[in-house]
Structure 1
Amino acid sequence: MKITGSPSGAISTVTPGAGAAPAPVQADAAGAAQSTALQSAVLQPAAEALAALPDFDAARVAELRDALARGELPFDAGRLAGLIQKFHAGR
């Protein structure tokens, strides 16, 4: 769906299935710059903390894999299949 805006900021045309990129939103340049700077200052520590995290905990994955192999961690294939089905049914 492509939504195009008029110079006043009002939506003038909605064309389902048209165009690849949405039209840019027009905003007051000073207000947008101030808002971006505020968001950047507020979100920067969270973004840095998130970037510092590993994609996954490889040590924990190895620990769980070993526990499964030793039979110390119960595994219910039917329950796993049900959870996968439930997860994908909502999409």
Structure 2
Amino acid sequence: MRISTPTPDGMAVQRVAEAAPADAAEAVAPAAPAPSPLQSAVLQPALQAMRDMPEIDQEKVDLLRNALAKGELPFDPGKLAGLIQRFHGSEQ
């Protein structure tokens, strides 16, 4: 199960859980209202394009990894540590 969590700086972090929560099987979601025909026709191509995209853009990952290795992309480990602490709620 994928869970997206927004962070204060606007980035979304995805977490992957091995299984759904125990009570999820018992919970029944109310039926969503049917989308209007116009909304459906407008959004369907975008939704399909998103479904067709790979989960990870490996080309972009490789470009960023190479730029970091060459020193072309600035990296501030202190800033990263601060963002991790803020995300996990352990600001001190």
When the two structures are superposed, what TM-score results if normalisation uses the length of structure 1?
0.52
- Given the alignment of the two structures, is residue 47 of structure 1 paired with residue 47 of structure 2, yes or no? yes
Query: How many residue pairs end up in the alignment?
Result: 66
Alignment match, 2:71: 71
When the two structures are superposed, what TM-score results if normalisation uses the length of structure 2?
0.52
Matches within 5 A, 1:18-29: 21-22=26-27, 25=30
Structure number having the greater helix percentage:
1
Mapped to 2, the partners of 1:41 and 1:77 lie a distance apart of 46
- Given the alignment of the two structures, is residue 84 of structure 1 paired with residue 89 of structure 2, yes or no? no
For residues 7-53 of structure 1, the C-alpha deviation after alignment (integer angstroms, 9 at most, x for no partner) is xxxxxxxxxxx895135758xxxxx6xx2685765643232111111
Q: Is the alpha carbon distance of 1:25 and 1:72 closer, same or farther for their aligned partners in structure 2, counting shifts above 3 Å? A: closer
- Given the alignment of the two structures, is residue 59 of structure 1 paired with residue 64 of structure 2, yes or no? no
Q: Is the alpha carbon distance of 1:23 and 1:71 closer, same or farther for their aligned partners in structure 2, counting shifts above 3 Å? A: closer
Sequence identity percentage: 50
Q: Which has the higher contact order (CA 8 A, sep 6+)?
A: 2
Superposition RMSD in Å: 3.1
The alpha carbon displacement at 1:84 in A equals 1.2
Q: Is the alpha carbon distance of 1:60 and 1:19 closer, same or farther for their aligned partners in structure 2, counting shifts above 3 Å? A: closer
Unmatched runs of 5 consecutive residues or more in structure 1: 1-17, 27-31
Structure number with greater Rg is 1
Q: Is the alpha carbon distance of 1:89 and 1:25 closer, same or farther for their aligned partners in structure 2, counting shifts above 3 Å? A: same
